[in-house]
């Protein structure tokens, strides 16, 4: 690998303003706002009409913060982190698709980026025309593009559809062509965001192979992925982003291992054998844990009101002979608030004939929590609660991503934690308490 620096980013930051509009039908509205707004409306709508900012809550939000990055020619860097960590934002800044709020980027060479399916593709143009268009955007001559043309078409396996407008392509075909163009048009820097999420296993394998070739040719690759095996296999180094900041960097295998062990990963299944944050005697130990949907499929993203299943396995060491163990699960929010402690006994569940290993499934029904990330800790101890055998903290996590069947309104986490749908009833006037004072309209 050369020592020539091709990407130099200093103090990169990206700020967004999140707007929570009050009063809209589909937006969050707190009860106190309904009352306050009602009074305002009644007296002085005109007063506020010219100043809409008074009707909105603007929240400053840093998607990226103080990121320094130096990438050498021929380096293949993996960028990992949870959903919303800022990975795509970083790639967009590096590809000059968006401007940073702070800091600056220096780039040496042509950058081809594959950020979303078919970025840079024109839907009305055919596959053939888009290949030429993208080549031209990358600064290549017609002759250079023609030289690569057959290779691109063969890689994308779209020969038959070459003269069809890409808007008629399936998402897989779109992706194949987009990847083939980005990888074959010899950019000096190739920026790839989560391509492996689309396409079948064979295509994913082919993409990984191609990215490896690109790297071998001495070109630089930045690769964002949630596929930890691919990151470890393909990248020499990696950085871990968390809440917009770089929290770890170094050889890819080490960064990936620390990321998985920290419970910060987006993995639904977690190997708990070497999980670091745990206490207890270790006479019984958790082996793995998994978040599942109601059909038993491994997943971490849920809508409000869905059933969330936690499955795990634990095993006793050789000298352990107790026939009973007690289990508990602790649930907390992303800002550390303990939400509940679910003990097996409260659900009339007990293991009375334990003989060394158990696999358990716990269904949390109708989870009515606001969108956020929630963390689970697993506990196994003696029936007396005195001995803690194993207590693995924040080892599993799941995401509530939206209102699902229950609501389409926006639900900022700052507005609450529990999504309740109480019964609302309109009462006749006669049912007012006799002592109720009538509402007095103050004179202006
Ligand atoms: N245009 C925008 N306006 C407001 N917020 C934004 C905008 N674009 C991104 N964000 C926010 O910035 C944060 C970082 O987003 P980004 O897309 O970089 O995350 P990511 O690490 O790529 O996540 P994922 O793994 O889900 O792709 C998120 O909280 C996202 O909601
Ligand atoms: Mg992203």
CATH code: domain of residue 379: 2.70.50.60
Least confident of 8-12, 37-41, 54-58, 98-102: 37-41
**Å from CA of 125 to ligand 1 middle:** 29
Spatial CA neighbour of 81 closest among 265, 262, 291: 265
Instruction: Single out the residue in 226, 261, 296 at which a domain terminates.
Output: 261
User: Which ligand is the nearest neighbour of the Cα of 89?
Assistant: 1
Q: What is the pLDDT of residue 331?
A: 94
Q: Which atom of ligand 1 is nearest to the CA of 226?
A: 25
Q: Are residues 402 and 348 in the same domain?
A: yes
Query: Is residue 297 packed enough to be buried (19+ CB in 10 Å), middle (13-18) or exposed (0-12)?
Result: exposed
Residue 18, beta-bridge partner list: 59
Q: Which atom of ligand 1 is nearest to the CA of 16?
A: 4
**Rounded-to-integer distance, Cα 69 and Cα 306, Å:** 41
Q: Are residues 279 and 381 in the same domain?
A: yes
Q: What is the pLDDT of residue 129?
A: 93
**Å from CA of 83 to ligand 1 middle:** 8
Q: Are residues 224 and 306 in the same domain?
A: no
Q: Would you say residue 230 has pLDDT above 50? A: yes
**Å from CA of 66 to ligand 1 middle:** 16
Q: Would you say residue 6 has pLDDT above 50? A: yes
DSSP secondary structure, 410-434, as one string: ---GGG-SB---PPP-PPPGGGS-T
The confidence band for 197, taking pLDDT boundaries of 50, 70 and 90, is: low
Q: What is the pLDDT of residue 48?
A: 41
Share the mean pLDDT of the chain.
Answer: 83
Ligand 1 pocket residues where CB is under 6 Å: 16, 63, 81, 83-89
Q: Would you say residue 53 has pLDDT above 60? A: no
Q: What is the pLDDT of residue 291?
A: 95
User: Which ligand is the nearest neighbour of the Cα of 92?
Assistant: 1
**Rounded-to-integer distance, Cα 97 and Cα 92, Å:** 5
Residue 57, beta-bridge partner list: 20
The confidence band for 36, taking pLDDT boundaries of 50, 70 and 90, is: very low
Let me know if residue 194 belongs to a domain: yes
Number of neighbours of residue 255 by Cβ within 10 angstroms: 24
Q: Are residues 69 and 198 in the same domain?
A: yes
Q: What is the pLDDT of residues 114-172, one digit of tens each?
A: 776 556 788 899 999 999 988 887 778 889 899 999 999 999 998 999 999 998 988 78
The residue whose CA is least distant from atom 6 of ligand 1 is: 16
Q: Are residues 90 and 199 in the same domain?
A: yes
**Å from CA of 82 to ligand 2 middle:** 9
Q: Are residues 231 and 287 in the same domain?
A: no
* Torsion, CA 19, CA 25, CA 29, CA 31, rounded to 10: 160
Provide the domain limits for residue 340: 269-415
Q: Would you say residue 28 has pLDDT above 50? A: no
Q: Are residues 291 and 378 in the same domain?
A: yes
SS3 for 102? strand
Q: Would you say residue 380 has pLDDT above 90? A: yes
Spatial CA neighbour of 70 closest among 2, 169, 158, 126: 2
Let me know if residue 211 belongs to a domain: yes
Q: Which atom of ligand 1 is nearest to the CA of 91?
A: 18
In this predicted model, which residue has the larger pLDDT, 262 or 400? Answer: 400
Q: What is the pLDDT of residue 24?
A: 37
Q: Are residues 222 and 277 in the same domain?
A: no
In this predicted model, which residue has the larger pLDDT, 321 or 271? Answer: 321
**Rounded-to-integer distance, Cα 131 and Cα 155, Å:** 13
User: Which ligand is the nearest neighbour of the Cα of 63?
Assistant: 1
**Rounded-to-integer distance, Cα 373 and Cα 165, Å:** 41
Q: Would you say residue 438 has pLDDT above 80? A: no
Instruction: Single out the residue in 261, 288, 317 at which a domain terminates.
Output: 261
Q: What is the pLDDT of residue 232?
A: 86
C-alpha dihedral sign at 217, 218, 222, 225? positive
Helix (H) or strand (E) holding 189: strand 189-193
Q: What is the pLDDT of residue 119?
A: 63
Spatial CA neighbour of 374 closest among 401, 420, 334: 334
- Contact present, 151 and 157 (Cβ < 8 Å): no
Q: What is the pLDDT of residue 265?
A: 67
Average pLDDT over residues 1-27: 73
Instruction: Single out the residue in 232, 261, 290 at which a domain terminates.
Output: 261
Q: What percent of the chain has pLDDT over 90?
A: 43
Q: Are residues 241 and 373 in the same domain?
A: no
Let me know if residue 310 belongs to a domain: yes
Q: Are residues 202 and 316 in the same domain?
A: no
Quote the number of domains for the chain.
2
**Å from CA of 159 to ligand 1 middle:** 35
Q: Would you say residue 80 has pLDDT above 80? A: yes
Let me know if residue 170 belongs to a domain: no
**Å from CA of 87 to ligand 2 middle:** 6
Q: Which atom of ligand 1 is nearest to the CA of 64?
A: 14
- Contact present, 64 and 93 (Cβ < 8 Å): yes
* Torsion, CA 94, CA 100, CA 105, CA 108, rounded to 10: 40
**Rounded-to-integer distance, Cα 173 and Cα 153, Å:** 11
Q: What is the pLDDT of residue 274?
A: 72
In SS3 terms, 31-43 reads as HHHHHHHHHHHHH
In this predicted model, which residue has the larger pLDDT, 399 or 58? Answer: 399
The confidence band for 267, taking pLDDT boundaries of 50, 70 and 90, is: confident
Let me know if residue 250 belongs to a domain: yes
Least confident of 209-213, 349-353, 417-421: 209-213
Q: What is the pLDDT of residue 288?
A: 94
Among 86, 114, 242, 372, name the best residue to mutate to test ligand 1's pocket (greatest count of ligand atoms within 8 A of Cβ): 86
Average pLDDT over residues 342-370: 95
User: Which ligand is the nearest neighbour of the Cα of 60?
Assistant: 1
Q: Are residues 224 and 319 in the same domain?
A: no
Q: Are residues 256 and 299 in the same domain?
A: no
**Å from CA of 334 to ligand 2 middle:** 20
Let me know if residue 323 belongs to a domain: yes
Residues whose CB is less than 8 angstroms from the CB of residue 122 and which lie 6 or more positions away in sequence, other chains included = 129, 130, 133, 166
Average pLDDT over residues 298-308: 94
Helix (H) or strand (E) holding 181: helix 171-184
Whole-structure pTM value: 0.60
**Å from CA of 362 to ligand 2 middle:** 31
CATH code: domain of residue 76: 3.40.50.300
Q: Which atom of ligand 1 is nearest to the CA of 194?
A: 27
Q: What is the pLDDT of residues 246-265, one digit of tens each?
A: 988 999 988 887 887 666 66
Let me know if residue 430 belongs to a domain: no
**Rounded-to-integer distance, Cα 252 and Cα 32, Å:** 50
Let me know if residue 354 belongs to a domain: yes
Q: At what angle do helices 127-137 and 171-184 cross, to 10 degrees?
A: 40
Q: What is the pLDDT of residue 58?
A: 67
């Amino acid at each position: 690998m050369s020592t020539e620096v091709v990407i130099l980013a200093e103090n990169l930051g990206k700020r967004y303003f999140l707007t929570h509009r009050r009063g809209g039908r589909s937006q969050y509205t707190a009860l106190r706002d309904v009352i306050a707004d009602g009074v305002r409306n009644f007296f002085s709508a005109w007063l506020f009409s010219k100043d809409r900012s008074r009707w909105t809550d603007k929240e400053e939000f840093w998607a990226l913060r103080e990121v320094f990055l130096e990438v050498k020619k021929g380096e293949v860097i993996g960028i990992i982190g949870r959903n919303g960590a800022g990975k795509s934002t970083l790639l967009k800044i590096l590809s000059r698709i968006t401007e940073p709020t702070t800091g600056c980027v220096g780039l040496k060479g042509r950058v081809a980026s594959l950020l979303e399916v078919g970025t840079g593709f024109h839907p009305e143009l055919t596959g053939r025309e888009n290949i030429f268009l993208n080549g031209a955007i990358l600064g290549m001559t017609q002759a250079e593009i023609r030289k690569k043309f057959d290779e691109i078409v063969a890689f994308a396996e779209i020969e038959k559809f070459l003269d069809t407008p890409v808007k008629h392509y399936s998402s897989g075909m779109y992706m194949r062509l987009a990847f083939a163009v980005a990888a074959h048009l010899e950019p000096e820097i190739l920026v790839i965001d989560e391509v492996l999420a689309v396409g079948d296993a064979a295509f994913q394998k082919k993409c990984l192979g191609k990215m490896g070739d690109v790297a071998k040719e001495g070109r630089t690759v930045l690769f964002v992925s949630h596929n930890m095996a691919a990151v470890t296999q393909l990248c020499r180094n990696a950085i871990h982003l968390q809440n917009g900041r770089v929290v770890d960097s170094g050889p890819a295998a080490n960064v990936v291992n620390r990321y998985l062990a920290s419970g910060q990963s987006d993995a639904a299944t977690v190997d708990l054998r070497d999980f670091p944050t745990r206490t207890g005697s270790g006479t019984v130990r958790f082996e793995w844990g998994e978040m599942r949907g109601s059909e038993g499929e491994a997943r971490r993203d849920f809508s409000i009101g869905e059933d969330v299943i936690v499955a795990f396995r634990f095993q006793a060491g050789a000298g352990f002979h107790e026939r009973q163990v007690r289990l508990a699960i602790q649930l907390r929010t992303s800002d550390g608030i303990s939400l509940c402690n679910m003990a097996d006994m409260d659900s009339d569940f007990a293991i009375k004939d334990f003989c060394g290993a158990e696999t358990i499934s716990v269904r949390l029904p109708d989870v009515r929590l606001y969108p956020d990330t929630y963390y689970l800790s697993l506990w196994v101890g003696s029936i007396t609660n005195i001995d803690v055998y194993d207590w693995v903290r924040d080892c599993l996590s799941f995401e509530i991503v939206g209102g699902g069947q229950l609501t389409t309104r926006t639900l900022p986490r700052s507005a609450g934690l529990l999504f309740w749908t109480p019964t609302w009833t309109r009462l006749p006037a006669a049912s007012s308490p006799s002592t109720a004072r009538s509402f007095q309209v103050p004179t202006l």
